Amino acid sequence: MRITGLIILFLTGISAAAQRDSAFASVRRITGDIRAFTVDNLDNVYLVSSSNQLKKLDSNGDSAAVFNDVKRFGQATLVDVSNPLKVLLYYRDFATIVVLDRFFNIRNSIDLRKQDILQVRAIGQSYDNKMWLYDEVENKLKKIDEDGKLLLETPDFRQLFDNAPSPQKIFDQDQLVYLYDSAQGVFVFDYYGALKNKILITGWQNFKVAGKFIFGSKDNKLFRYDIRSFRVDEWVMPQALYGSRSFNFSGTRLYALKENTIEIYSFQ
């Protein structure tokens, strides 16, 4: 397997003028003990408490599932809910991935160290219910199954790039795999590990690929990049959201975490 077909797409200022606060309409808020959170493509919200409890709320705010088995694993580094029927919890300190079903029953746990994968920061679900990860020791994008068996790997990125990426996020969307390195940009691969293009989005926080869009924030701005048209929508952050600890996005909603409160907005 070889990396081929490099096409670099520059972010060339195809950008809408910054829009006003009126682009956002308040939907509701969630309050409670919230240390971190994420959302899936159905607008279900997943809350992580200070005691590391994971709780799922449906799009109406009703409780749908709770995972309390935290003693064995501690604090999750990453919660991947890109498939609402299968939730991945990644515990970086233990190099362990815990797989939950839709009701938060444990389906499996994978100790990556047993697969000689010793240092991983970014993981993500694949379209076929397998998992992508970036091995930081070998500098390779790898795909594994639920038993941890290696299914695919790229060559060493240090042999392919002048400056190998160090991705913080991995997303599988519409037959492409997106690796985000905030210092270098978005590296886009096909399912065989061939590099298709590079999008020069750098410095964005709260990065997320959802549907046909890439979302993020930077300073007092919120951004939405259309993958197909290369258009960038830019909003001045509503003043009410200043000081938010983190943001998340779905196709039509913005989620902002403040102190023990998530404020939900719809946007155009």
Predicted model pTM: 0.90
Q: What is the pLDDT of residues 18-50, one digit of tens each?
A: 445 567 899 999 999 999 999 999 999 999 999
Please give the pLDDT value at position 251: 85
Q: What is the pLDDT of residues 137-183, one digit of tens each?
A: 999 999 999 999 999 999 999 998 999 999 999 999 999 999 999 99
Would you state the CATH architecture of domain 8-267?
Answer: 6 Propeller (2.120)
Q: Domain residue spans in the chain?
A: 8-267
Residues forming beta bridges with residue 208, ordered by sequence position: 215
CB of 97 closer than 8 Å to CB of 88? yes
Count of H-run helices and E-run strands, the chain = 0, 25
Cα(177)–Cα(188) distance, rounded to whole angstroms?
A: 6
Q: What is the pLDDT of residues 241-265, one digit of tens each?
A: 999 999 999 988 999 999 899 999 9
Nearest in space to 181 (alpha carbons), one of 198, 160, 194: 198
